Structure 1
Amino acid sequence: MSANALMSLGIRAMNANYAALQATGHNIANANTEGYSRQSVVLETNGGQFTGAGFFGKGVNVATVQRAHSEFLTREAATSKSVAAADEARSAQLTQLEKVFPLGEAGLGYAASQMFNALVDVANKPSDTSSRQVVLARAGEFASKLATAGGQIETLQRGVTEELKASVTQANMLATRVAELNQRIASATGSGQTPNDLLDQRDQAISELSAYVQVTRIDAGDGTVSLFVGGGQKLVLAGQATPLVTVPDSYDATKLQLGVNDSGSLRMLSQELLTGGSIAGLMRFQNEDLVAARNQLGQLAAAVAGSVNRQQALGLDGSQPPGSGAPLLAVGAPRVLPASGNSGGGNVSISVAEPTELQASDYELLADPSLPAGSYTLTRLSDGSTQTVSNGSVVDGMRITIGAPAPAANDRFLLQPVAMAAVSASLAMENTRGLAAASPVAATFDVDNIGTASVSALSATAVNGAAAPLTATLTFTDDVGSYSWELRDASNALVRSGTGSWSAGNPIRSDAWTPATPAQRYDWALELNGVPRSGDVLTVGATPFPASDNGNARAMMALGEAGLVGQRTVGGTVVPGASVTDAYANMLAEIGVRVQGAELAAQQSATIADQADADLQSKVGVNLDEEAARLIQFQQSYQAAAKMLQVAQSLFDTLLQAAG
């Protein structure tokens, strides 16, 4: 073996250790670079040379530079990061939504209670102007809080819209970055070596992209990766990125939905298929949480305003002569939004038939071609229940009107009976005399009555503008509540008569006598205290002195404890709704549950994401202590290789001297 062989060994050893030192230095330099994976030099022997005395090694070769990488851990870290981003985005928005509904004296429940409580003073002093002014002030405060809450919900919607646009822009930039890196990686891979730094940059870009939208990754043989979203829609295919786009909702242009623009062809992405990323969290908040809150608030506003205004209309105001009460509160009207893809110009509208039965939900009306003409499928979106309706159908307190032209086959309409009620709430009355404190009907007992019966409550229940005012006379025929009744006009002529029966806890209702065509100006309901005796006479007629009567003020005051919100009829049985304060408390409870659930989910998913990232870093991250130890190791090896060259040079010099 010549000195040249030893020198060749030394040179190869120096080159190998220099490469190792270079890789170690690169690791140290990028220890704090986001997404960087530790690199190491792979060495291999240069083979052996056969001699009669055996095989002598020819040194070392640098085979490649490889990066520490785990495909499984990389995917897990990206997926868990995507889920955590979705939960965090929704939780942050729900925290803002919770602030829309304050507790205590700042809340809607307290404002409603104050409005109804103010009617106590009006009931005690019906003609007192200051008491009436307090009622208007409290009603104005209640309406103002409704409008403020509704406006804050709309502000949240605008904020979500802007965040969605910004998130989609960032996601598209990252998708384009991945496509560009795909091209560079494919070109570099053709050299036979892996471009480690480019691979790190691509993995980091995919990780950042996952924070906006969860992607499915498929690796190709040429080193490129393809990314898919929403159940299979391509986002990145080799060197081509398909941009995400925000699209106005098919019903409501103030809301955004997500799609992909595939060479000019728009393909929508269903929210159910977006399982991760901040975009998915924002979409869920917009389409579920915000809709539920808006409808619950609107349900409360429409139920209270509708009930109060209806009772107002049944009373007599303080003007001269007294007239029927005008509306006290105003709220936003129900609305119908046609789908943007409808082929026809169907005329569909809705109105409130019974405010206490309105539900906190939107509805979708479909012109189903499988149904007979004039029939439509109505879906309550809050629970997915469906039923068949037609023109004039009353569902959940709303009346559906379908005029000409009729909707074309497969046309869809979004019905919103309560969604816009709160945002437009206001006080509709300014004149204190407009408050209808007086009941239009009054009851008197004959002075010769021997029973203990007295009036517990008497209020009008309906008004028939086409009828003449009649006086009702009830004569009890026994001691257990049986009576005969007569209706007489102003000339005392008999109009109608009949019999009935009273029992404690059940009011006497005049509409039960004339269910089809009421003959009175007002229908009324009378509740008694005590027990009437046979021969007792009770007369119900027009209120003689409206200015001092408090019957309707008491009826309005009673609305504060009545089940006004969310009444339902199930199988012919009326299920009472909640009072105003209970309805607000239920709203707070539901939002609180959503907030707590979102916060818990965000905490759990963040913990999982942090653990997945820690597992990945333990595999691919740079440990400076380890790199410092390797630096010393390779330095010593390099110095030893240099010594080998020195020895080879000395041997060569000795040979030259001997030959000389």
Structure 2
Amino acid sequence: MSASALMSLGVRAMSANYAALQATGHNISNANTEGYSRQSVVLETNGGQFTGAGFFGKGVNVATVQREHSDFLTREASTTKAIAAADEARSSQLQQLEKVFPLGEDGIGYAATSMFNALVDVANKPADTSARQVVLARAGEFATRVKTAGEQLDTLQQGVTEELKASITQVNMLAGRVAELNQKIAAVKGSGQSHNDLLDQRDQTISEISRYVQVTTMEAGDGSMSVFIGGGQKLVLGNQATRLVAVADAYDPSRLQLGVNDSGAVREMPQELVTGGSIAGLLRFQNDDLVSARNQLGQIAAAVAGSVNRQQALGLDGSQPPASGAPLLTVGAPQVLPASSNTGGATVSISVSNPTELQASDYELVRDPALPAGSYTLTRLSDGNSQTVTDGAIVDGFQISIGATAPAANDRFLLQPVSAASRNATLALENTRGLAAASPVAATFDVDNIGTASVAALSATAVNAAAAPLTATITFTNDSGAYNWELRDASNALVRSGTGTWSAGQAIRSDAWAPATPAQRYDWSLDLSGVPRSGDVLTVGNTPFPASDNGNAKAMMALRDAGLVGQSTLPSGTVVPGASVTDAYANMLAEVGVRVQGAQLSAKQSAAIADQADANLSAKVGVNLDEEAARLIQFQQSYQAAAK
């Protein structure tokens, strides 16, 4: 072998080891660079030269510089990171939501109970101005807490809106970066070699996108990487990036949804397709958790205010002459939001018919063209229950009214009976004389009665404003509770009469006498304690001294323990009682707490899985400084040997 051949072997060996040293130094330099993949020089023999004595090797060549990479581990790390980011974003928001509803004496349930308890002093001393003032103060505190909670929910919504905008901006920036890297990578692909550092940068950028929205990837023949979101919606295709946009909600412009601007056409992405990343967590919190909390708060506010105001209207205030009680509390009115895609000019409105039957839900009203004219599909969004309704239908405590112009086919409306109730909650009554403590009706017992019956409770149940006041006389005809009743006018002329039967625990109600035309000024309900005997007589008529009467104050006190919130009627006609205001608030706290705990557990588990996936990827592609130091010595010695 000639000296030149030996020199060639040494030069090639020096060159190969120099390349290996360079790659090792590059690895050591980037050991702490996020997203960097370890690189190594691939060597190959230079072939052999035939001689009569056989083939003699001609040294070594540098084939390429390859990076350690695993498509599977990279995808797994990206996917788990997206899920962890979604869980963390939702958990963080829910922890803020939990602070809106404090426990104990700072809670809304406690404030409502305090308001009802303050009526005890009014019942004991109906004319006491200071006792009446305490009731107004407690009612004002309840309204303030409801309003404050509603404002805090609005603040949370604003925070979600701003965070969504910032996240979408960041995704668009990163997607543009991927498109630029695709172009550079494709440009060098024709050389037959890969630009390892650019590939690392692209993988790292795609991983960053996964923090905001879950992606899937597909590599093209030219080396570019296509990125998709939402089950197939392109985000990056070659060197072109599709812009994500924040789309105003179809019903409520204050809420944002995720959309794409594809060649100038803006389309909203269904929430169910956005399955990972912080954007998915924010959307779930906004569209599910926050809506549920707002409706539960509104349900309590509307039920309490509606029930108290209704009982106020059934009593007499302290003015001279006494008048029916004015509203004590004011809450936000029910609202209807038409969809932005509606083509017709129809208007829809709703009004509360029974506050105790209001449910913690929004409803969607759709003009389904498959239904007869004048019929609509109403879906309760909290549970998906649907039914067909018409104009004037009463559902879950509210009445639906369709305007003169009928909705066009497929027009949609979002009905919110309670969502806005917490907004503008305030004390509507400022004058202590306006508190309606007196009942408009009173009962008297004949002095000759021999039974033990007395009044346990007596309150008005309805007002017939156009009717004249009537006096009811009830005469028991036996010891088993049978009685005759008569209604007489101011001149003592008989208006109506009939019979009935009383039993222990059952109220005597004037509306059960079912007059053909309402005749009495007030309908009322009378509960007796003790037992009447045959011949006993009692009379129910107008309260003779309203200033000292406490009948309506007692009726308002009874609302504290009554099932005011969420009463419902099953299809069978069975009435399911509602919850008291304290129980309703406790139930809301429990539901929020369960959501928080569930979200925290999910965030903890998904973070652990993401960390493990990242560790698996790092073990495969990361730089180990101990290994690199050993290789550095190896290649140095090889270089020195080749040089000699």
| TM-score bin (small chain) | over 0.9
Q: Which runs of 4+ in 1 moved over 4 A?
A: none
What is residue 590 of structure 1 aligned with on the other side? 591
TM-score calculated relative to the size of structure 2: 0.99
Q: Which stretch of the first structure deviates more once superposed, 12-21 or 263-272?
A: 263-272
Shift in Å, 1:517: 2.7
Distance in 2, Cα, partners of 1:407 & 1:310: 33
Distance in 2, Cα, partners of 1:44 & 1:572: 85
Shift in Å, 1:265: 1.2
- 1:323-402 residue pairs with structure 2 within 5 A? 323-402=323-402
What is residue 517 of structure 1 aligned with on the other side? 517
The one-character-per-residue Cα deviations of 1:239-284 (angstroms, maximum 9, x if unpaired) are 1000000110010000001111111012221100111000000000
Establish whether residue 115 from structure 1 lines up as the match of residue 106 from structure 2.
Answer: no
Establish whether residue 207 from structure 1 lines up as the match of residue 194 from structure 2.
Answer: no
Distance in 2, Cα, partners of 1:63 & 1:229: 37
What is residue 86 of structure 1 aligned with on the other side? 86
Distance in 2, Cα, partners of 1:165 & 1:105: 38
Amino acid at match of 1:621: G
Distance in 2, Cα, partners of 1:267 & 1:139: 47
**Unaligned 5+ runs, structure 2:** none
- 1:432-511 residue pairs with structure 2 within 5 A? 432-511=432-511
Amino acid at match of 2:607: A
What is residue 634 of structure 2 aligned with on the other side? 633
Shift in Å, 1:309: 0.1
Distance in 1, Cα, partners of 2:585 & 2:565: 10
Distance in 1, Cα, partners of 2:267 & 2:325: 54
Distance in 2, Cα, partners of 1:515 & 1:197: 90
Distance in 2, Cα, partners of 1:404 & 1:250: 24
Shift in Å, 1:165: 0.2
Amino acid at match of 1:109: G
- 1:420-431 residue pairs with structure 2 within 5 A? 420-431=420-431
What is residue 193 of structure 1 aligned with on the other side? 193
The one-character-per-residue Cα deviations of 1:4-35 (angstroms, maximum 9, x if unpaired) are 11100000000000000000000000000010
Establish whether residue 300 from structure 1 lines up as the match of residue 300 from structure 2.
Answer: yes
What is residue 614 of structure 1 aligned with on the other side? 615
Amino acid at match of 2:82: S
Aligned in 2, Cα 1:516/1:618: closer, same or farther, shift over 3 Å?
farther
The one-character-per-residue Cα deviations of 1:266-323 (angstroms, maximum 9, x if unpaired) are 2221100111000000000000000000000000000000000000000000001100
Shift in Å, 1:221: 1.3
What is residue 142 of structure 2 aligned with on the other side? 142
Q: Which stretch of the first structure deviates more once superposed, 95-104 or 229-238?
A: 229-238
Establish whether residue 269 from structure 1 lines up as the match of residue 252 from structure 2.
Answer: no
Q: CA RMSD in A?
A: 0.6
Shift in Å, 1:518: 2.1
Amino acid at match of 2:627: E
Shift in Å, 1:573: 1.4
Helix, strand or coil at the partner of 2:400: strand
Distance in 1, Cα, partners of 2:332 & 2:515: 33
What is residue 573 of structure 1 aligned with on the other side? 574
Shift in Å, 1:514: 2.3
Helix, strand or coil at the partner of 1:186: helix
Distance in 1, Cα, partners of 2:60 & 2:176: 42
Distance in 2, Cα, partners of 1:629 & 1:220: 37
Helix, strand or coil at the partner of 2:444: strand
Helix, strand or coil at the partner of 2:41: strand
What is the aligned-residue identity percentage? 81
Distance in 2, Cα, partners of 1:538 & 1:558: 24
- 1:24-43 residue pairs with structure 2 within 5 A? 24-43=24-43
Helix, strand or coil at the partner of 1:167: helix
Amino acid at match of 2:391: N
Amino acid at match of 1:262: D
Distance in 1, Cα, partners of 2:501 & 2:213: 69
Distance in 1, Cα, partners of 2:516 & 2:111: 40
The count of aligned residue pairs is: 643
TM-score calculated relative to the size of structure 1: 0.97
Aligned in 2, Cα 1:637/1:516: closer, same or farther, shift over 3 Å?
farther
Shift in Å, 1:54: 1.1
Helix, strand or coil at the partner of 2:66: strand
Amino acid at match of 2:586: A
What is residue 537 of structure 2 aligned with on the other side? 537
Shift in Å, 1:347: 1.7
Shift in Å, 1:64: 0.3
Aligned in 2, Cα 1:459/1:27: closer, same or farther, shift over 3 Å?
same
Shift in Å, 1:174: 0.5
What is residue 657 of structure 1 aligned with on the other side? none
Shift in Å, 1:163: 0.3
Amino acid at match of 1:176: G
Larger Cα-atom Rg? 1
Amino acid at match of 2:594: V
Distance in 1, Cα, partners of 2:395 & 2:56: 95
Distance in 2, Cα, partners of 1:569 & 1:358: 11
What is residue 23 of structure 1 aligned with on the other side? 23
Distance in 2, Cα, partners of 1:375 & 1:5: 96
What is residue 410 of structure 1 aligned with on the other side? 410
Shift in Å, 1:515: 5.4
Distance in 2, Cα, partners of 1:189 & 1:403: 65
Amino acid at match of 1:304: V
Aligned in 2, Cα 1:515/1:5: closer, same or farther, shift over 3 Å?
farther
Distance in 2, Cα, partners of 1:515 & 1:52: 129
Distance in 1, Cα, partners of 2:558 & 2:221: 76
